[in-house]
Amino acid sequence: MAILLVYVDDIILTGKSTTELHKIQQLLHKTFQVKDLGSLRYFLGFEIARTNKGISINQGKYTLEIVSDAGLLGYKLAPTLMLHGTHLFQDSSTPYQDAPAYRRMIGRLIYLTNTMPNISFTVNQLAQFMTTPTTMHHVAAIRVIKYIKGTPALGLFYPASSTLHIKAYNDSDWTSCPNIKDLFPDIAST
């Protein structure tokens, strides 16, 4: 089996048989000018490192670009993603003046969740307000960026040998959401 991942003019080719991979590479080279860059190290903002212990994937450079573009390189780190007791909801407070910039920021954070699943919940919460963000939502997004600034190379590690263990977690307090009353009035009253 060989796997070919294509994005515009970038191709990742992988598989178990080096002979088979070499044949595919030659076939591609007959039609396109192909340059072999060796082992995968960087692709679409992902930094990949492979050792005999496993594969490590992070988005360190991409994370620092997010921090830099937000103008937060010189700011203090945030020790947590959100302040304790923060509840994001849609209200009539001051709208954020640059909604497209907020959307771009959240979109970049969504892409970052590929290697930083620890920010997924907060980013998902912030993404719910992309149509009409308020200054409160922007402040919360800035805190996420200050948090990721402290761990830019945090990522995922896939060990070469391991036993698969699936773990799941659940937050059963979903009815505490202030917007739930409008969406599900029957459930919210119970």
- Which range among 71-85, 120-134, 166-180 has the greatest average pLDDT? 120-134
Helix (H, G, I), strand (E, B) or coil at 77: coil
48 with 38: CB under 8 angstroms? no
What per-residue confidence (pLDDT) applies to 119? 93
What tens digit of pLDDT does each residue of 5-63 get? 888 888 899 888 989 999 999 999 898 888 888 888 999 999 999 999 999 999 999 99
Token pair of 94 as six digits: 């001051």
Token pair of 6 as six digits: 């294509």
Closest by CA to 88, choosing from 72, 67, 102, 77, is 102
Ramachandran assignment for 162, one of left (phi > 0), alpha (psi -120 to 50 degrees), beta (any other): beta
Q: How far is CA 115 from the centre of its chain?
A: 6
What per-residue confidence (pLDDT) applies to 16? 87
Token pair of 16 as six digits: 């178990």
B/e letters for 163-176, b = 16+ CB within 10 Å, e = fewer, are: eeeeeeeeeeeeee
Confidence of residue 162 (pLDDT cuts 50, 70, 90): confident
Confidence of residue 90 (pLDDT cuts 50, 70, 90): confident
What per-residue confidence (pLDDT) applies to 89? 75
Helix (H, G, I), strand (E, B) or coil at 36: coil
Residue-averaged pLDDT of the chain = 86
Q: Give the residues across from 7 on adjacent strands.
A: 10
Token pair of 69 as six digits: 């573009």
Q: Is 43 exposed, middle or buried (0-12, 13-18, 19+ CB in 10 A)?
A: middle
Q: What is the CA radius of gyration of the chain?
A: 21
14, 36, 100, 103 from 11: Cα distances, Å:
10, 10, 32, 29
Token pair of 37 as six digits: 């860059």
Q: What percent of the chain has pLDDT over 70?
A: 88
Q: What is the pTM of this model?
A: 0.78
